Amino acid sequence: MIKNETTEQLTEYVTVVIGAQLFGLPIARVQDVFVPDRLTRVPLAPPEVAGILNLRGRIVTAIDMRRRLDLGKRDDAQPPMAIGIEYRGESYGLLVDTVGEVMKLPNRACEIRPANLDPRIARVASGVIRLDGQLLVVLDVDRVLDMKNDAVAA
């Protein structure tokens, strides 16, 4: 989907904001969007694991995307939203600042990561899409959840 520039295929993205940056997640990977409720912190867990919570009888591991992307601490006043993701048979909730609209964008608009992209973001981005006045970073969900991968970058 990144380089497929010849066809007029469209991909739908759920847009979210993490630390003032606009991100898009391919809608096929998003299971649900929910308000994280009663998050249980897990002692000794990696810092990006915000805790675990009960989502309709399933235990979901909540990942604090700000910490994951090293984008500073969240403003406590505003409760986060969560994007439900399934990764290798397990349920995750990515905690983001806000969830925006769903955008349908042509695949050819998606460019490979530009060289000047913030390295913290670049390591989990599969591409970027230039919108009017801002940049939408397409998140590679697998890379987000494969935490061992960027030990060097982090």
Output the smallest distance, CB 37 to other proteins, in A.
Answer: 9
Output the smallest distance, CB 49 to other proteins, in A.
Answer: 6
Output the smallest distance, CB 129 to other proteins, in A.
Answer: 29
CB contact set of 151 (below 8 Å; sequence gap of 6+): none
Residue closer to other proteins by CB (options 27, 59) is 59
Closest CA to 140 of 149, 151, 152: 149
Residue closer to other proteins by CB (options 55, 128) is 55
Binding site for other proteins (CB under 8 A): 38, 40-46, 49, 52-54, 56-59, 61, 63, 88, 90, 92, 147
Euclidean distance between CA atoms 69 and 154, whole angstroms: 9
Sheet-wide strand order for 125-130: 98-106, 10-18, 21-26, 135-139, 125-130, 110-111
Residue closer to other proteins by CB (options 52, 139) is 52
